[in-house]
Amino acid sequence: MEIDNDPAYQQMINGELYLESPILQQRRRDVRTKLMQYNQIADNDDRNTKMKSLLRSAGDRFFVEPTFEFSYGVNIRIGNHFYANHGVTLCDEGLITIGNDCKFGPKVGLYTPAHPLDPTVRRTEAERTAPITIGNDVWIGGSAVILPGVTLGNNVIVGAGAVVTHSFPDNVIVVGNPARVLKQNAPQS
């Protein structure tokens, strides 16, 4: 892909401060146009095939309800057997990796951009990213938000409305804002 050779793209996925280049701007415009079209398709197979074509990779049994939104698509890797309910947003300025057998409730958000805290730098429109990694067998409840740099282990359940600000290991249920461990989850069999 042309985007892979863009220096701004490399800075973006490496977590360095970057400004959006013309190549990145064009990719976002193209993806936005296609998402507007694809989210209107009523036929599940047709919609999901087209959505999947915009991602870096996605495994078998990929199913998303409309609306499914993302910034670039090329920074998203999804394993087998993925389901996303209505209104899911993946801000994939940074890399997003989602394991196998994951389910997202409605209005889940994964946000990789990390805007500068210094207002002088923020005014330049430069930003950086931090990747999000989701393990296997993860269920994220409705309206939960996963912030930049978070890794969720395998068999994690994120309660509805949680704001996940840091990483969690395997086999936990997390809830709240900021998210905290509610209890251990039964290990996978």
DSSP output for 4-51: GG-HHHHHHHTT--B---HHHHHHHHHHHHHHHHHTT---HHHHHHHH
pLDDT of residue 2: 81
Strands 172-175 and 180-184: antiparallel
Provide the whole-model pTM: 0.96
Is position 86 annotated as part of the catalytic site?
Answer: no
The fold for domain 1-182 equals UDP N-Acetylglucosamine Acyltransferase; domain 1 (2.160.10)
Question: Are the beta carbons of 122 and 115 closer than 8 angstroms?
Answer: yes
**Confidence (pLDDT) at 161:** 98
Each residue of 60-118: pLDDT tens digit? 999 999 999 999 999 999 999 999 999 999 999 999 999 999 999 999 999 999 999 99
Domain boundaries, the chain: 1-182
> Cβ neighbours of residue 62 under 8 Å, at least 6 residues apart?
48, 51, 52, 78, 82
Q: Quick check: 189 pLDDT over 70?
A: no
